[in-house]
Structure 1
Amino acid sequence: MVGWVVLITGGLTGIGRAAALAFAKEGSIVVVAGRRNEAGAELVKELRACGPEAEFMNADVRKEGDVRALIDKTVARFGRLDVAINNAGTEGTSGPLTEQTPETYAATFDTNVLGVLLCMKHELRVMKSQGFGNIVNISSTMGSRGAANASLYVASKHAVEGLTKSGALEAAAFSVRVNAVAPGPVETSMLDRFTGSPDRKSGLLASIPLRRAGKPEELADAILFLASDKASFITGHIISVNGGRTAS
């Protein structure tokens, strides 16, 4: 991974941040995309302290112009795009399906689905011309099962897995792999927002066979594996990293 050019959306916190640091420690050039310039500048300092080079680029994955510019600037700056991690996401608005609206739908799907679609569109545009590349999308345990009061989030992650598999079939023709990592509950601010209270969080974690939440660094390890040459014959696959939550 030394010298690889790696782009990570939603890379300022949680799993994305852990992945950025992990790639930097492997010697990769890391481009982190997000919407908070000050936080981006601080992360770049950390990345440059342990890797060869890093850049922050402000981009909103819901806007195609931003996504196109992000990909093109990355290639113009570093010459190519080896790996793309599409991590930007939101938990959306929880509650009964009967209370969801077109507005809550758009708030969830514009980031979780449209954002992934636009990123894949422009990443694959570049990778096709290169004849190489590797995409890892971030799904969720909920990408393959249902959950009461989380219908929009669940549906959005099902869509991410569908985009991953379909994109893999198309990209195989030009030697590009597309996979996804599906985390279970992970110790992030999103998990705290999603559960809403310490009691609800404890109840959720009690349902996990390993009896704990995952660490962002554990998800980063799975992402690095899928991006690496050790996974060279894996494409169109969803790796679950969830402490056994979907084993039964």
Structure 2
Amino acid sequence: MIEINQLSKKYKGAESFSVHNLDLRIREKEVFGILGPNGAGKTTLISMLSSLLKPTKGSFSINGLNYREHTQQLKQIIGIVPQEYALYPTLTAYENLRYFGSMYGLKGAHLKSKIHDHLEVLGLGPFADKKIKTFSGGMKRRINLIAGILHAPKVLFLDEPTVGVDVQSKNAIIDYLKELNKKGTTILYTSHHLNEAEHFCTRIAIIDLGSIICKGKPSALIDEHVDARNLEDVFLAKTGKALRDYA
């Protein structure tokens, strides 16, 4: 579903590449996790695959569509749920979703029905006409998710979709994503919640300094490391325990 070849990104004025010569194949209907320390290149990679950032070099295709030749068609089959809230705080939940749905060509009764269904499944039906600025963090995360999947994308990019939310909201989001995946959506996901990734992802890749340092099924990677009890142990073994603060 996703084929990445020697993909690289170096920002203007930067001393080094944020993503460097990255090769990766992601199968259809996978839940693939991209894990790494702060500054490892996770968000940069997602931004390039979402056509929000232009690669410095290399190429990628999604569902057979090359990003250089089929940019508009590619945008129609992907969904993006960014780490930051992509919502208008003074609009209601329904108004936000109607706006984002219309950007994908959805309209009328069909759009209204889809919005209603998604709100109900994620426990937000009673808040459809409340302004986003009154919502809790978990509620905003759930609306953020709905905005990215109203058009039923083939591929969904998730950048820290459960960061800063309560346990109940996190559980609701992960359960909903599992249902989307069962229906055929391929998911590419970044997170710092390693326990969550261990149980949610079919395969993962750990990246550091813009390059993949290991990849595979979480259970297999744990088994490969003698002292590892979980994915967090593997992560620390591969990336070290030094702090990764950056500005």
Common fold by TM > 0.5 = no
Which of 1 and 2 has higher RCO (CA within 8 Å, sep 6+)? 2
More helix by share: 1
Higher CA-based Rg: 2
State the TM-score, normalized to the length of structure 1. 0.32
Give the strand-richer structure, 1 or 2: 2
